[in-house]
Amino acid sequence: MAIQDLFSLQGEVAIITGAGRGIGRAIAIAFAQAGASVVCAARTQADIDDTAAQCRQSGSQALAVSCDVSNEDDLAKLVHTSLEQFGKISILVNNAGGAYPNDPLKTDAKAFNRDFNFNVTSAFTLTQLCQPSLLASKGNVINITSAVARYCQAGFSSYGTAKAALTQMTKLLAADFAPDIRVNAVAPGTILTEALGQFLNTEIQEKMTALTPLKSLGQPQDIAAAALFLASPAARWVSGKIIEVDGGAESTTWPF
């Protein structure tokens, strides 16, 4: 197989959650540029409409489906609509997630469980729903976890615990679904997205950059490139693995 074909997604159908902005949008566009038909899912219709329009500029088909991943009915509708439109699902990217920093003494069980369900349970449920189609297509799942899953840092007991669970779930589902469905994850470090931007000013960004060995913060496309590798035939012998894309950081770059 020619090297360019190893990274082609021609003929594949991918669902990407959290595709309205940031990392999810970058992954959707990258997959479309690689030839996949993409289903862009997020809560805000205007955002995913814009992502889908950018995907179509590559000549690929793109569908925008409004979806709250915390709602099981929405997840079922997302899978049904994708299959109705494209006839199969061969790639699932569980990207939707996130949480604010938290004080463990002020975080009640409801808030803790909300963060866990948003980051972990939603990915588990959507993977279950997609499994029959992924099995038929010998497809793959990519979970977007986080470097915070392995860093020891104050203020992230809720989010970090959830992402650590997602990391471990990735490895366990890879064992469950082998050899027919590959399951992997990407663990981003500090990525310049709108979600991070609300915490940044020039001083804070300079501190975070200084704490990063490669002396720059990441871009959404850096994560999209890793996801493209995992989704493509180039990664046919890769499952149960976490690709860390973090500028070389082995400890937190959070400067607070």
Report yes or no on 158 lying in a domain: yes
User: What was the pLDDT predicted at 137?
Assistant: 98
Which residue type is seen at 188?
P
**Over residues 180-190, mean pLDDT:** 98
Share above pLDDT 70 across residues of the chain, in percent, rounded to a whole number:
100
Report yes or no on 159 lying in a domain: yes
pLDDT tens digits, 126-177: 999 999 999 999 999 999 999 999 999 999 999 999 999 999 999 999 999 9
Instruction: Report phi then psi at 123, rounded to 5.
Output: -65, -40
Give me the number of domains the chain comprises.
Answer: 1
SS3 letters across the chain: CCHHHHCCCCCCEEEEECCCCHHHHHHHHHHHHCCCEEEEEECCHHHHHHHHHHHHCCCCCEEEEECCCCCHHHHHHHHHHHHHHHCCCCEEEECCCCCCCCCCCCCCHHHHHHHHHHHHHHHHHHHHHHHHHHHHHCCEEEEECCHHHCCCCCCCHHHHHHHHHHHHHHHHHHHHHCCCCEEEEEEECCECCHHHHCCCCHHHHHHHHHCCCCCCCECHHHHHHHHHHHHCHHHCCCCCCEEEECCCCCCCCCCC
Structure tokens at 41: 């899912």
Report yes or no on 141 lying in a domain: yes
Which pTM value belongs to this model?
0.97
Q: What is the CATH number of the domain that holds 184?
A: 3.40.50.720
**Over residues 200-228, mean pLDDT:** 96
pLDDT tens digits, 229-248: 999 999 999 999 999 999 99
Identify whether the C-beta of residue 243 lies closer than 8 Å to the C-beta of residue 235. Answer: no
Report yes or no on 250 lying in a domain: no
- The residue segments making up the domain with residue 89 are 9-245
**Over residues 188-204, mean pLDDT:** 90
Q: How far is CA 149 from the centre of its chain?
A: 14
Q: What's the whole-number average pLDDT of the chain?
A: 97
Report yes or no on 226 lying in a domain: yes
Report yes or no on 3 lying in a domain: no
| Residue where the block lists tokens 């399951």 | 183
pLDDT tens digits, 32-43: 999 999 999 999
Residue 159 is a catalytic residue: yes
> What is the band of 1 on the pLDDT scale with cuts at 50, 70, 90?
confident
**Over residues 85-111, mean pLDDT:** 97
Q: Is 101 exposed, middle or buried (0-12, 13-18, 19+ CB in 10 A)?
A: middle
**Over residues 84-107, mean pLDDT:** 97
Share above pLDDT 90 across residues of the chain, in percent, rounded to a whole number:
94
Determine which one of 86, 159, 177, 254 is catalytic: 159
